[in-house]
Every structure is written in structure tokens, then in C-alpha cells.
Structure 1
Amino acid sequence: MLVYVVDHNGQPLMPTTRGAFVRIALKEGRAKVTRTKPFTIQLLYETTSFTQPLSGGTDPGRTNIGEAVLDAGGEVLYNAHITTRNEEIPDLMAERKAHRQASRRGERKVRQRRAIKNGTITFPLEKERTPRGCEKPIVNKYIRNSEARFVNRKRPANWLTPTTNQLVETHLNAVKDICRLLPVSDWILEINRFAFMRMEDGSILGADFQNGRLKGYPSVNAYIFALQGGCCACCGKPLIEHYHHIVPRHLGGSDGPENIAGLCNECHGKVHTGKLSLDKLGKAKKYAALSVLNQAIPFIYDGLVELFGQEHVHICFGWQTSEQRKRLGLGKTHDADAVCIASLGNGSQPRQIPEPYEIKQFRRHNRAIINNQRERTYKLGKETVAKNRKPRFEQRGHSLESFLKSLSPVWRLDACQVMEVSKSTRYYNSEGRCMPGTVFYRCRRKTPGFIHGDIRRQGPSYGIMPFVCLHIILMQASRRGVMPT
């Protein structure tokens, strides 16, 4: 068993396989356990810091990343397969955008109601205005809309999209975590640049990359307009009012011309109401993962240079990794590729490769749930008479609108004057909620059956048994009114 060792200052030393030394040091109090996966101890006394040169390798990817560290003799000291959550980022950004728009829409409605109450509304009631930073005029109702918020925003140098930035940080954080365990001196990164046009057509060379189908058109919509001759793709009417994504973007639809259809207003409405189908057309994103990786690799390399220095960061290419893998007779896995990449850096021949550590990213917090607001309440005295100004989806009971309609005109005004309104309260996650990645244990009791066991995060000194099936645990816990923490 390989045990990772750090000195009393937290600096990594060479790992050891001397199990007896580790047991005696822990028993005598000369060392302590700092991590269990992978098993790491910290020495509590001063020692020398002599280390050997180690080479690390990264097989980059969007969803799957391979990491490995080898010494000069070819012994694999670390081997891991990382599963990222990068695919979730676009959906989470779209969700955050929806929450932000709903919040600003609510603020705007408050200003409108305040303007109506104080008699400061604009005339005419609906007026078109083109704020600074907007290309098309917008309709202002009752009040003047504020200026576009993005006008004064400036992106810093080397700005990355949230998806690419998360991927870069994932790669660099994985390397930093390894450097806390092992004194790595050099790092090797596999560089791949994917040419999508050539992946579609292998005959494309040189200037052919500049002569794509969109050459000469200012936008994809202009290309669609010329391709369809200015006519609707469904009915043939010589009018295009909407450029519709056949496969919606939130379902992985592409922004390319193969997934966009020019439609008139009537056909566009039929498509959204299900009366007209375009399922046989359109394509999903084909190279989304490779596109993000193309953007991230240069910044991953720059981050490694900051960590190790220019002279200690090396690169290799995919064909070199493939030849090394065939030479060693290894399977096509991400952790095996990482071992091949690390061996290319120090010129060693890897020995027996151990089972890799499986690392999976998961989301720790949910901002959308934390900032979620519940319905507001209207009371007459101590009695709740309505919730929300207008009924929400599948609401049971009166809303303010339906409650006032149920009153006679004589009592309606009096009810509005004495009615108390409590604002919607924010909902925060409880501290005892179940987090992804939590491990639950069942304590062995004398009483038979699963229902009689206690569920705890950390079991007592007597026998405990880990359970993988979280669904069964939560189901049994809910029957007894116990929520695992």
C-alpha cells in the first residue's frame, strides 16, 4: 500500500510503502493522518526534505480527465480519473439568467404600480424608446425603462466564458491537489487542436478553412435568408419574421444554419403550439465538448507555467500518446493515457499500473433554491384570505384578484384598507439537508430488519456497514421521520 507523506510544515515528501513504519509512527504520536483518500500522513517532527524528480501528466477533456505521476524508474505513484460537471454549467447559467430576469421584471412591476398610485405615469401609456446601448426600440409601459445595464460593463483581458473558465479551473485545481501530496517537479500536457471543418471533410486544406459556407454573409440569419430565398420554410410565403431553432438550445440544439429555419409569424406560432412539426429537420450540437476544450487548453498551459515555470512544463500530442499506449499494450482509458503522457515526459517505461482513483465533481450549493421566494400572504385580522396577487400555477385557494371579485363592491374597498400584507419570505436550505456525495452508514443492531437501524454520517466504534443505495435509505428514513445529515 502506497502512503503519501508530508513534513511538519505541510510540504510533500516521497511516498512510502513501509507499513510498519507508518503504524508505529501513528501509534507513538510522531505522525497523524491528514487524509484517508488517498491515505496521507503528516510527520510531527523535523526531517530532511530530500526528494526525487517526479513527472506528472494530464489527459485533458471536458467530462473526463486523466491524471498521473511517475518517478524516474517508471513507478506509477498517482493515477486518477476525474469526472467533471462542466456540462451542467450552460444549463445553470441559463437558469440563473431566468431568475435574474424574473427579479428585474418584478422590480419593474413595483415601479409601475408605484407610478400609477402616485400619478407619475408617462403619456402615452405605451411609448417606444431606444435607450443607449439598444439597437431596436423597446415599448415602455407607464414608466421609462432604465438604461441597458451592459453599457458600462467591460470584460477584462483574457476573459473566458463561464463554461471554459470552470474547465480551466478544474484542470489546474486537480494539479494543485496532486502537488499537495507529491513533490512533482515537471508536468506534461497533451495538446490537441480540433479542426471541425476537416473532421467533416478530410479534403479541406490551407485556405479552404477560410472559404466556408458562411463566407460573404454577415450572420447566420443572413445566410438562412439567402438559402431560403426570403421565403418561409413551411408555407413558402415570401416573408421571414422568425429564425427558429429546430432543436431548442436548452436541449442541446446547435446555433449553426443546419438547425435554424426561417418562418413566418403564422407558421412560427403553429410550431410552438404543436400544430406543426420540424422534428425531421435540425441538428444538435456535435462538437460542443471539443469546442470548449479548444478554448481551454491554452489557458491550462499558461496556468501550469505559473505553477512549475516555463522550463518544467512540456507538451505532447495525441498521436504520440496513441503510439506510446500501443507500445505499452494499454487500453484506451483516460488514466492510462495520463500514464503514457507522464512517461513521455521523463522517458521511463511504466511498470504495473494500479487501479485509478475515481474522483467526481458535484455541486455544493444551489443559489436558485437559496434565493427562492415563497408566496406573499393577505390577512384580515388573523385569518388568511388570499395568497399572491394573481394565482400561481396550480394554486389552491383564493388569490387577491379572485378574493376581491368574490366581495361585493361595498365591502371591496373596506377590505383593501384593513387588509394586512406579509411579504414573501426567502427560503434557505436547512443545515441537515442531504448533499451529493454524502456517505451514509447503518449501525448493526440486534433487532432484525433494516427499519430498526440508525442512519448516521459517521458510525460509532462498533460495526458499521456502508450503503450505496441512497434511495432506499432515504425512503426508510422518511418512514420513521428521520432525515440523515
Structure 2
Amino acid sequence: MSNYVFLIDANKTPMNPIHPAHAKKLLNAGKAAVFRRYPFVLIMNRVVENIVTYPITLKIDPGSKFTGIALINNLDQSIWGMELQHRGAAIKDSLENRKAVRRGRRARHTRYRQARFLNRKRPEGWLAPSLRHRVLTTETWVKRLCKYAPIASIVQELVRFDLQQLENPEISGIEYQQGELAGYEVREYLLNKWDRKCAYCGVENVPLQVEHIKPKAKGGTNRISNLCLACEKCNLKKGTQDIEKFLAKKPELLKKILAQAKKPLRDATAGNSTRWALFNILKKTGLSVTTGSGGQTKFNRTRLGLPKAHWIDAACTGVVQALEILTTKILTVKATGHGCRRMCRIDKFGFPCTKAKQTFTHISTGDFVRVELRKDRKHVPSGIYTGRVKTPTDEGCEVVINGFRVTFSAMEDVFKIHRNDGYSYA
């Protein structure tokens, strides 16, 4: 079933999200109209007096590449889900490209921007642009959802792993030997550190066991730096041997495993830094903000028998006694950006290689449109489609439909349904 539909009255006051079948009845009866496509929001044609709403909890599972978001009603039911794909890597590449172009100008002694790396200080809490983007896009969607739903509280997965208050990047086993979460933090940490593969043979998609690099029988400890993942075959074959003896014929693999064992999970640390920045921003909303760890999320998901997905991880964040999934078709969002201020494309040497950009008032690149093809085109049969504008023209536009560019010489068969806002939707 699809996500529940957001509903606001004529004063744009958020009401309880409604079932898609209920939304269809309101549209057919003319009592509501489409206010926004992504996320799908209906607006009533009248002001509703004395609106009674139930509290909705917004749950967030921040990640370095994807962020999962879920809305949970007062009956512990997941009524709305979303996965947000960040563009941190694209931002990093763009900044490196800009740096190379500016350095090239300085080397040629042409007109250039003065270097400003000695006269500026980074403010407290500074994040790299690629990391700051993750925080800002998540903040944007939190504010957007608060406008369309009666959200009363927020639950955030503050740290993917409990890294000892971020003071010690290695987890000791002694703190996790008691309680219902015993082992979950350690196993989740190891799965990410060793890429969900056997450290010795590299096999994937098989049950993996926690293996002591230095056997406990010979004084090995339970610290993360002495743990790795191994399949049952390799674990039994190694037994209580020293790793130097077990991998005596594979010196390169031995060197790689020993280096990986001592290396902390850098991605997790970077993710944790953005999560703390996001947590401080969420507190400024005035809503109640609670947190949970990644190990707790995995424990809840495993206990409830739910599949692995970013938005389901978000729904399982924090304290969860019971959870019912009422939606399976979620909103998938990808951050695409608004383009750049560059007036034309440049080659690898920094020289312009295209004409200057044109501006059009009727439509813009990235707008979502509904088009009607009256006759078959190459690779695209006739029919009604929804796509994004690739290139506007003086009188028409070029629309991407099913991965192919289709040119419309006039706008009579093109209807704009959603303005470009820096995201693509599915």
C-alpha cells in the first residue's frame, strides 16, 4: 500500500494524514484539491473548525549516503516512509574541480581570485560542505513534514554505533555482556568494519561469525581491534592457531587484516559528527527530541522480523514495543541540487566550450511535467507520461521519458505539475 496522504485545511493547518482511498474520495467529490505532488498533499476547500489530531512521531535514521524517515501514529503504526539520497560525493567532486580551475588560473598569471587560505578561521562546529549538506537536506525535510503533519515529537538515531560517548573509537566487550542488547552493538560495528565479508576468504551472503584474531586460548581479548568476521569454514579451520601461522602462505592478506583490525571505522565517525550537528538543529524546533543507537535499532528490527531498509530502520529507532507497517510504497528522494551559477560549460583547462545559458519564463530545467504523446516516438510509444524537463527551448522543451529524451516543439501537450526544488522523486 502507498504512503498515507497529507491533508491541510484552507488555512494550511495540518490535519491527520488519511488513507489513499479516503483521499481519492475527497478528490472525486471536489472537497479537496492537490496542493503539492512531492510529498503528496491535499488541501481542503474550506476551513475546518476545531481540528482534532493525534500525535505523530517523526523518526530519522541519518546516514552518510541515505537517510531514512518514517512517521509513526499513536497506535504504533508506520503510515509514511521516505528514503533521502544525499549528494555529498558530488559536492566534493565539484569543489575539487573548482579548486583545480582556480589553481590553473594562478599558474597562468591571468586574472584570478586571490587565495584566501591564511586569513579565515573556521567557526566552532564547522563541517565540510559535503557533510553539512547531509544535515541541511535532512533539516529541510523535517521542516517540510512539520508543515503538513501534526508532528509532536522526533526520535533520531544519534549514533550508528555506541562509540563510548565518542571518546574511544574502540568498543570494549565488557559493557555489552549483559542486558537484551548484548552483542548487537559489536556485531553491527563489525559488519560495517569488515564490509559484511569473511576476512579470510572474502565470501559474502553467508552467515558470518565473530572471530578472535588472537585466540582467547592464547590471551586474546574481546576488544574490537582483536575481532573480525569469518565464515564457519574458515573459523573452524583456524581454530586456536595464531593468525601469523594460519596465514603464513598469504603474507599480503595477513598484512591487510592486521591493518584493518587496528583501523577505526572512519565512515561511522564522520556519520556521528553529522548526527550530532543534526541533533542540535532538531532541538531548536521546540519539539521533544529523543535518541537511540544503531545497535538498538537493529535489535528492534530483528525482534519484530522486519526487512532491512533505511526507512524501516528509521521506524525502529528508539524504544519500540510494537510496530505495524501500513505502507510499502514509500517516497524515494534524491538530492540533485539546483545546478551552478556558471553561465556555460568549461573544459578541463577552465575555458568556455559552450554558449551562454538561456533563461525561460514558461519552464525551467528540472521541472516535473505531465506530457501527452499523440503518436509513437522512437523508443517511446504514445500515451501520457510524467517526466522531468531536460532542456527548455523558446517555445517547447525536451523531456526525459523512460530514460529517453523526447522533444516537444510546443507546450500545448506539456503541463507543469511540480516545480524543480533540487530533488528528484520516485
Give the shorter-chain TM-score range. 0.5 to 0.7
Query: Following TM superposition, by how much is the alpha carbon of 1:21 offset from its aligned partner in structure 2, in angstroms?
Result: 7.3
How many residues align? The count is 313
Deviation string, structure 1 residues 111-154 (Cα, Å, up to 9, x no partner): 9xxxxxxxxxxxxxxxxxxxxxxxxxxxxxxxxxx986333323
Decide whether aligned partners of structure 1 residues 163 and 288 sit closer, same or farther in structure 2, where only a CA change above 3 A counts: farther
- 2:383 is equivalent to residue 469 of structure 1: no
SS at match of 1:180: helix
Contact 1:370–1:426 (Cα < 8 Å) also in 2? no
- 2:231 is equivalent to residue 298 of structure 1: no
Contact 1:73–1:348 (Cα < 8 Å) also in 2? no
- 1:85-484 superposed matches below 5 A: 85-105=87-107, 108-109=109-110, 149-192=116-159, 193=161, 203=221, 287=265, 289-309=267-287, 312-341=288-317, 344=319, 347-367=321-341, 369-370=342-343, 372=345, 427-431=355-359, 435=365, 441=371, 443-445=373-375, 468-470=401-403, 472-473=404-405, 477=407
Decide whether aligned partners of structure 1 residues 92 and 197 sit closer, same or farther in structure 2, where only a CA change above 3 A counts: farther
SS at match of 2:282: helix
The answer for the alignment partner of 1:403 in structure 2 is none
Decide whether aligned partners of structure 1 residues 450 and 356 sit closer, same or farther in structure 2, where only a CA change above 3 A counts: closer
Decide whether aligned partners of structure 1 residues 95 and 316 sit closer, same or farther in structure 2, where only a CA change above 3 A counts: same
Deviation string, structure 1 residues 243-293 (Cα, Å, up to 9, x no partner): xxxxxxxxxxxxxxx9xxxxxxxxxxxxxxxxxxxxxxxxxx995533421
Decide whether aligned partners of structure 1 residues 373 and 297 sit closer, same or farther in structure 2, where only a CA change above 3 A counts: closer
Decide whether aligned partners of structure 1 residues 100 and 438 sit closer, same or farther in structure 2, where only a CA change above 3 A counts: farther
Q: Which amino acid in the other structure matches residue 158 of structure 2? A: I
Contact 1:74–1:348 (Cα < 8 Å) also in 2? yes
- 2:27 is equivalent to residue 60 of structure 1: no
Rg larger in structure: 1
Out of 71, 77, 80, the position equivalent to 1:78 is 80
What is the TM-score with the length of structure 1 in the denominator?
0.53
Decide whether aligned partners of structure 1 residues 31 and 302 sit closer, same or farther in structure 2, where only a CA change above 3 A counts: same
Q: For 1:147 and 1:451, how far apart are their aligned partners in 2?
A: 51
Contact 2:79–2:327 (Cα < 8 Å) also in 1? no
Out of 31, 50, 53, the position equivalent to 1:51 is 53
Q: For 1:81 and 1:98, how far apart are their aligned partners in 2?
A: 34
Q: For 1:450 and 1:336, how far apart are their aligned partners in 2?
A: 37
Q: Which amino acid in the other structure matches residue 116 of structure 2? A: R
Decide whether aligned partners of structure 1 residues 147 and 448 sit closer, same or farther in structure 2, where only a CA change above 3 A counts: closer
Contact 2:343–2:357 (Cα < 8 Å) also in 1? yes
Deviation string, structure 1 residues 391-429 (Cα, Å, up to 9, x no partner): x89xxxxxxxxxxxxxxxxxxxxxxxxxxxxx9899433
Q: For 1:451 and 1:76, how far apart are their aligned partners in 2?
A: 37
SS at match of 1:94: helix
Q: For 1:467 and 1:149, how far apart are their aligned partners in 2?
A: 41
Deviation string, structure 1 residues 209-237 (Cα, Å, up to 9, x no partner): xxxxxxxxxxxxxxxxxxxxxxxxxxxxx
More strand by share: 2
Q: For 1:333 and 1:9, how far apart are their aligned partners in 2?
A: 36
Query: Following TM superposition, by how much is the alpha carbon of 1:17 offset from its aligned partner in structure 2, in angstroms?
Result: 2.8
Query: Following TM superposition, by how much is the alpha carbon of 1:81 offset from its aligned partner in structure 2, in angstroms?
Result: 1.5
Q: For 2:313 and 2:20, how far apart are their aligned partners in 1?
A: 29
Decide whether aligned partners of structure 1 residues 98 and 424 sit closer, same or farther in structure 2, where only a CA change above 3 A counts: closer
SS at match of 2:79: strand
Query: Following TM superposition, by how much is the alpha carbon of 1:19 offset from its aligned partner in structure 2, in angstroms?
Result: 4.4
The answer for the alignment partner of 1:14 in structure 2 is 16
The answer for the alignment partner of 2:234 in structure 1 is none
Contact 1:54–1:71 (Cα < 8 Å) also in 2? yes
Decide whether aligned partners of structure 1 residues 458 and 292 sit closer, same or farther in structure 2, where only a CA change above 3 A counts: closer
Q: Which amino acid in the other structure matches residue 473 of structure 1? A: R
Query: Following TM superposition, by how much is the alpha carbon of 1:296 offset from its aligned partner in structure 2, in angstroms?
Result: 0.5
Q: For 1:12 and 1:439, how far apart are their aligned partners in 2?
A: 27
SS at match of 2:151: coil
What is the TM-score with the length of structure 2 in the denominator?
0.60
SS at match of 1:164: helix
The answer for the alignment partner of 1:121 in structure 2 is none
Q: For 2:275 and 2:330, how far apart are their aligned partners in 1?
A: 23
The answer for the alignment partner of 1:36 in structure 2 is 37
Query: Following TM superposition, by how much is the alpha carbon of 1:299 offset from its aligned partner in structure 2, in angstroms?
Result: 0.6
Deviation string, structure 1 residues 441-471 (Cα, Å, up to 9, x no partner): 45133x7866897999789xxxxxx97532x
Q: Which amino acid in the other structure matches residue 373 of structure 2? A: C
Q: Which amino acid in the other structure matches residue 99 of structure 1? A: V
SS at match of 2:118: coil
Contact 1:197–1:204 (Cα < 8 Å) also in 2? no
Q: For 1:453 and 1:353, how far apart are their aligned partners in 2?
A: 32
RMSD value over aligned CA atoms? Answer: 4.6
The answer for the alignment partner of 1:225 in structure 2 is none
Query: Following TM superposition, by how much is the alpha carbon of 1:55 offset from its aligned partner in structure 2, in angstroms?
Result: 1.0
Q: Which amino acid in the other structure matches residue 66 of structure 1? A: G
Q: For 1:360 and 1:177, how far apart are their aligned partners in 2?
A: 16
Which has the bigger relative contact order, CA under 8 A and spacing at least 6?
2
Query: Following TM superposition, by how much is the alpha carbon of 1:437 offset from its aligned partner in structure 2, in angstroms?
Result: 8.0
Decide whether aligned partners of structure 1 residues 455 and 102 sit closer, same or farther in structure 2, where only a CA change above 3 A counts: farther
Contact 1:373–1:427 (Cα < 8 Å) also in 2? no
Q: For 2:346 and 2:58, how far apart are their aligned partners in 1?
A: 48
